[in-house]
């Protein structure tokens, strides 16, 4: 059994409800009797998205998982589809739900379908901040610093994240 870090984001529809539905489905595939860690929810300005995209709600969870990275990716994509995510050609288009596998224990992968740890994790405040809420000292393969250290190294040129008053 390994610990899986999973980022959740939504910027269409009832964003909080979308996150909660995804969280509930991910709890169903988590190992029973293993702790589920949940970070704060943050409202974030869209980054790397088409102009005019709505703000996101983002968070990170960590679950125990006994399958392979590709098993978890397949399950995450199935949940996205169940919740109404449509795959479109436009990169980073607004979406009902986005579920990204950040890490699965110390597994590494550089395949076309999945890269682990997530290759842009260290560049994204909207991932690092919630991950630092639950695992600030975590060291991931290929990163020479803890999650808190990676967060501290980000340039201060983007808008600060706003904590939501509601949780999962």
The larger pLDDT score, comparing residue 160 to residue 135, is at 135
Q: What percentage of the chain has pLDDT greater than the value 90?
A: 76
Cβ-in-10-Å burial (0-12, 13-18, 19+) of 33 comes to exposed
Report the pLDDT averaged over residues 119-129.
94
pLDDT at 102 over 80: yes
Q: What are phi and psi of 5, to 5 degrees?
A: -95, 130
Residue 96 reports pLDDT greater than 70:
yes
Q: Which pLDDT score, from 0 to 100, does residue 158 have?
A: 72
Mean pLDDT value of segment 133-142: 96
Task: Indicate if the pLDDT at residue 118 is higher than 80.
Answer: yes
- Whole-prediction pTM value? 0.94
> Does residue 92 register a pLDDT over 80?
no
pLDDT at 87: 76
pLDDT at 5 over 90: yes
Does a cis peptide bond (omega within 30 degrees of 0) precede residue 117? Answer: yes
Task: Print burial letters for 125-160: b (CB count within 10 Å at least 16), e (below 16).
Answer: bbbbbbbbbbbeebebeeeeebbebbbeeeeeeeee
142's CB contacts (< 8 A; 6+ apart) are: 108, 117
Each residue's pLDDT tens digit, 46-68:
888 888 899 999 999 999 999 99
By three-state DSSP, how is residue 82 classified?
helix
The dihedrals phi and psi of 22, each to the nearest 5 degrees, come to -65, -45
* CB count in 10 Å sphere of residue 27: 14
Check: CB of residue 140 under 8 Å from CB of residue 127: no
CA gap 80, 74 in Å, rounded:
10
Domains of the chain: 2-163 (3.30.70.560)
């Amino acid at each position: 059994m390994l610990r899986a870090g999973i980022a959740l984001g939504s910027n269409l529809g009832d964003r909080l409800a979308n996150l909660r539905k995804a969280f509930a489905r991910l709890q169903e595939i988590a190992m029973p009797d293993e702790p589920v860690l949940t970070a704060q929810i943050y409202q974030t300005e869209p980054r790397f998205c088409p102009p005019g995209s709505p703000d996101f709600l983002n968070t990170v969870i960590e679950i125990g998982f006994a399958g392979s990275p590709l098993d978890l990716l397949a399950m995450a994509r199935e949940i996205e589809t169940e919740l109404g995510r449509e795959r479109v050609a436009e990169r980073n288009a607004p979406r009902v739900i986005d579920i990204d596998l950040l890490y699965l224990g110390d597994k590494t992968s550089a395949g076309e379908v999945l890269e682990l740890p997530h290759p842009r994790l260290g560049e994204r405040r909207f991932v690092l901040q919630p991950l630092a809420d639950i695992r600030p000292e975590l060291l991931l393969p290929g990163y020479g610093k803890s999650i808190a250290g990676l967060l501290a190294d980000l340039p201060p040129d983007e808008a600060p994240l706003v904590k939501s008053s509601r949780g999962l």
